[in-house]
Structure 1
Amino acid sequence: MAHVVIVGAGQAGAAAAAKLRALGFDGEITMLGAEPAPPYQRPPLSKAYLMGEMEEERLWLRAPEFWAESRVTLKLGAVVTAIDTGAQSVTVQDDGGTEVLAYDELILTTGSTPRRLPAAIGGELAGVYTVRTLADVDAMKAEFVAGRRLVIVGGGYIGLEAAAVGRKLGLEVTVLEMAPRILQRVAAPETSAYFRALHQSHGAVIREETGLDRLLGSDRVTGVRLKDGSDLPADFVIVGVGIMPNTAEAEAAGIVIENGIKTDLRGATSAPHVWAAGDCASFPLLGAQMRIESVGNAIDQAELVAENIMGAGKDYVPAPWFWSDQYDCKLQIAGLNIGYDRILTRGPVGEAVSFWYFKGERLIAVDAMNDSRAYMVGKRLIEAGRTPDEAKLVDPAVEMKTLLK
C-alpha cells in the first residue's frame, strides 16, 4: 500500500491530506506536526485570537475526529530530524522516541519562521515577541493590559494588525518602520497612506524612516534605542520584520534551495518523489523562483501537489488573494502588484475605497478597503486576464458589476 508522508501540519499540510482523500487516494497518509496543536488557521492569531474574541478550538481547520475518520495518522509534537531521499525515509523524534518512516511520496509543507532581532541587540530579552504560532500569541496575551506601552518593530501587516489590537485594548502603541513608509514592500504609497491615517486616527504613533539601534534592559526589555540616539520606553516589544522559509531539513537532504524549497510548476522538488507547498516552497513565476506567503497559496499549491501525486500532471497557475483586518477596516487584496507602474483610485465612497494596480495597460492587482464588491470584481477581471474601462473604473457612479461586461 502506498504511503504519503506530509512534513508540516499547517494550512498546506492539512489541505494536501484532505485533497488526497477527496481524490480517492486509498493508501496510508501520515502528517507530522512539530506543534502540539492540531492543524489550525494562523491569520486570526494576530486579530481575533489575540483580542480574546476567538477560542483555540475555533482556530482548528478540522474537528479532531476528521483526521481519524479520513484515516490520516496525525502525529503532533513530532520533529523531523532527517530526510533520506535515497532510502525514501524520514526520521522523526517525539515524546515516544525516534522513529523512521518509509514513504512512497513525501510532501514538505514546513512553513516559515519569523525573523528575530539578533541577540547582540537584545532580541532574546524577555518581553520580546514574534507572531507566528499559538504558543507565540499565548505567551504575549497577558501583556495586553490597558495603559501599558507596546513598541512594534516593523510596519508590515503583522505589525499593524498587532498595533490595532493594542489600541483597541487601550495600550500606548508605537510602530517603528525603517523604510520610508509602512507596507512599502507589499503595497502602493496610496495604501500605505490609507493605513497610516487609519492608525493615527486611532491614536497609534507611526514612525517611518526610523531605525532601531538596540533594545534596552538587562533581563527584560524596558525600552528601545533608536538610530538617532533617542530612547523610547516599552513594557514589551513585538517584532514583525518578515519570515524565513523553513528549509533546513530539505537542504540537509540535498534538495535544491532557491528562495525556499525549489519546485517546478507541478510542485516537484529536485529529489524524486518529494514535493513542496506553502510558505516554504518557491515556484517559477515572472522569471524567478517566487514564494507567495498566503493562506490561498498554501491551499492551492498543496491541493495541486495532491492532484499531481494522483497523476494529474497539472501546472500551478496562481490566483493570489490576501486579507487583513485592522480596527473596523477589512482590506482585501487580489492579484500580485509586482512591477506595477501606475495606480487608479476608486472612491472613497463612505468608508469604501480601492486602489487598482496597472502594469502598462493590464490590471494586475487591487487593494480594496471595506469594499468587497471592488475586490470580487477585481479578482474576476485579473483571473480572466481582462482590463476594465478606466473611466468607468474611477467613476463611483458606475456600478462595479458593469466593469465585468
Structure 2
Amino acid sequence: MSTDGRLLIVGAGQAGVQTASSARELGWQGPITLLGAEPYPPYARPPLSKAFLSGTATQDRLALRSAEFYSDHRIDLVLDERVQHLDLAGDGTGSAVTDSGRQRSFDRLVLATGAEPRRLPLEGAGLAGVVVLRDLDDASVLAGRLAAADSLVVVGGGFVGLEVAATAAAAGVRVSVVETASSLMNRVVSPVTAEIVASAHRAAGIRVLTGLRPARFVGDGHHAVTAVELDNGEHLPADLVLIGVGARPRDDLAATAGLHCDYGVVVDDRSVASDGHTLAVGDCANLPDPSPGPGPAARVRLESVDNAVEQARAAAGTLVGAPPPSRGVPWFWSDQGSLKLQIAGLARPDDEVVVRVGKRPGQHTALRYRGPGLVAVECVDSPADFLTVRKALTAGVELSREAAADTGVPLKQHLSAALTSAQR
C-alpha cells in the first residue's frame, strides 16, 4: 500500500489531529494537510463548559498540540478554511474546494467534520441571549453573557447542559434546568444514577425540572430574552438561555459527494466509508458498535474523546496497511461541579441495574446487565470502581449479579476472583 501520496484531513478537532499524528507515527511518508474551518489552532472541547467558562483555563491551555508539533511531524495545518465541495474519483482520489475558492487535491481523504448543535424551532429562538455551546466562539459568547447574567435556563439535561449549569451556579447565577424526559441524561444513564446527579445539582441550588419542555422564549422590547415559557404555562425568568439538546453530525459534505450517510457517515470498523477508500472519524461517523459482550447494537454514533482517538488510530492503521488495533470498551466522563460521572460501556433502557452505594454521601456505582452479562457501569465519584469495571469489560471478565450486589467486598476483589476462576 502506497504511503507517499497526499493525505487531506478535513476537520481539525480531536479526531482529525489524532489521525494526522497517528498516520505519521505509523509511517505515512507523503504530505499531510490538516484543514480546519475555525481560525484557532486545534483545541480540546471538554473544558469549554467548565474550566474555560469559569475563567480558570485560557485558550492557550486548550491546545491539543504545540505549534512545533505540526512542523516537527510535517503536518501542514491550515486554519480558517472550510470545504464547500468534494470531487471524489472511484479510486478515492479527488479534490476539495474551499470557501476561499482554493482547490486542494488529494490521494487519500479523511473526513473529521464533527457535529453541530441542534437548535429549537420555537418562537423567540433568535432572541439575544439564547445561545448554544459547541466551539470556542460559542464558549466566548456564553462566558461574556454569563458574567453579566442573573438567571440562566438550561434547556436539556445532558452532559454539556449540566456542566454549564454547575459552572454557572458556582458563580452565583440562579440556574434552572429543563429536561423533556422523565430523568436527566436519560439516554446514557439509569434512572437511579440520574436521580443521584439531580440531587447533587439541587443541593447546589439548581432547580431541576423534568418531564417539561419549553413552549417559547419570551423577549423584551430590545429583542433580548427575559423568560422561558414552559408547556405547563410556567414562566422561568432568564436573561440567558443555553440550548443543550444534543448535536447532529456534519455529514452533508459526505452525502453530497455520494457517500452513504445515515445519521453520520457510515463506516466499517476500519473507519472506511461506502466508496471503499474515503475514511471518516469522530463525531461525524456512524460506526459498528465496538462494545464487547452480549448484544451490542448494530451501529452507533459516539461523541467522546475516547472514540475520536480510538477511531482515528484505526483510520491511520488503514491508511498505512497496518493491522487493526484492538478497541477498548467505549467510555465517557462528565465533571459537573464537584461531581464526577464516569461511564464505561453502552447500556440500553431495559438493562438490569445493580447498585452499589459508596461510603461517602453521593458515592454510587451502577452496574448494567443484559441477559447473563455485564455490559456497562456508571460511577458517581467512584473512580476506583470505574477503572476496575472498565478493565473487566474490556477483558470480558464476567461478574455475577450476586457478587456485584455484595458491597461488603470491594469490586476489585470480586473481579480478581472472577478472573482467577475464568483462567482455571
TM over 0.5: yes
Deviation at 1:358, TM superposition (A): 0.6
Q: Distance in 2 between matches of 1:360 and 1:389?
A: 11
TM-score, structure 1 normalization: 0.95
Work out whether 1:290 is the aligned partner of 2:300. Answer: yes
Work out whether 1:306 is the aligned partner of 2:316. Answer: yes
Structure 2 partner of 1:226: 230
Q: Is the 8 A contact 1:159 1:238 kept in 2?
A: yes
- Counting only pairs closer than 5 Å after superposition, residues 169-208 of structure 1 correspond to structure 2 as 169-208=171-210
Q: Distance in 2 between matches of 1:386 and 1:306?
A: 29
Q: Is the 8 A contact 1:78 1:92 kept in 2?
A: no
Q: Is the 8 A contact 1:89 1:100 kept in 2?
A: no
Work out whether 1:264 is the aligned partner of 2:261. Answer: no
Deviation at 1:147, TM superposition (A): 6.7
Q: Distance in 1 between matches of 2:127 and 2:193?
A: 34
- Counting only pairs closer than 5 Å after superposition, residues 1-400 of structure 1 correspond to structure 2 as 1-86=4-89, 88-93=93-98, 97-118=100-121, 120-145=122-147, 148-217=150-219, 219-285=223-289, 286=296, 288-314=298-324, 317=327, 319-338=329-348, 340-351=350-361, 352-400=363-411
For this pair of structures, how many residues does the alignment match?
A: 402
Q: Is the 8 A contact 1:147 1:170 kept in 2?
A: no
Q: Distance in 2 between matches of 1:158 and 1:151?
A: 13
TM-score, structure 2 normalization: 0.91
Q: Is the 8 A contact 2:377 2:386 kept in 1?
A: yes
Deviation at 1:344, TM superposition (A): 0.8
Q: Is the 8 A contact 1:259 1:290 kept in 2?
A: no
Q: Is the 8 A contact 2:190 2:349 kept in 1?
A: no
Deviation at 1:193, TM superposition (A): 0.5
SS in 2 for 1:144: helix
Provide Cα deviations, 1:249-302, integer angstroms capped at 9, x if missing partner: 111111110120011121111124210011100112345331111110011001
Q: Distance in 2 between matches of 1:356 and 1:381?
A: 12
Q: Is the 8 A contact 2:149 2:240 kept in 1?
A: no
For the structure 1 residues 223 and 315, does the alpha-carbon distance in structure 2 shift closer, same or farther, using more than 3 Å as the test?
A: same
For the structure 1 residues 339 and 164, does the alpha-carbon distance in structure 2 shift closer, same or farther, using more than 3 Å as the test?
A: closer
Indicate the larger mover: 104-113 or 341-350.
341-350
Indicate the larger mover: 389-398 or 11-20.
389-398
Deviation at 1:387, TM superposition (A): 1.8
For the structure 1 residues 326 and 287, does the alpha-carbon distance in structure 2 shift closer, same or farther, using more than 3 Å as the test?
A: closer
Deviation at 1:365, TM superposition (A): 0.6
SS in 2 for 1:160: helix
Deviation at 1:91, TM superposition (A): 2.9
SS in 2 for 1:349: coil
Provide Cα deviations, 1:45-86, integer angstroms capped at 9, x if missing partner: 111111111111111110111111110001100100111112
Q: Distance in 2 between matches of 1:252 and 1:391?
A: 52
Identity across the alignment (%): 38
Q: Distance in 2 between matches of 1:139 and 1:216?
A: 20
The residue type equivalent to 2:169 in the other structure is R
Q: Distance in 1 between matches of 2:328 and 2:301?
A: 11
Q: Distance in 1 between matches of 2:325 and 2:29?
A: 24
The residue type equivalent to 1:366 in the other structure is V
Q: Distance in 1 between matches of 2:117 and 2:334?
A: 18
Structure 1 partner of 2:420: none
Q: Is the 8 A contact 1:357 1:363 kept in 2?
A: yes
Deviation at 1:146, TM superposition (A): 7.4
SS in 1 for 2:133: coil
Q: Distance in 2 between matches of 1:312 and 1:24?
A: 10
Deviation at 1:398, TM superposition (A): 1.3
For the structure 1 residues 128 and 211, does the alpha-carbon distance in structure 2 shift closer, same or farther, using more than 3 Å as the test?
A: same
Indicate the larger mover: 343-352 or 182-191.
343-352
Superposed CA RMSD: 1.7
SS in 1 for 2:241: strand
Deviation at 1:33, TM superposition (A): 0.4
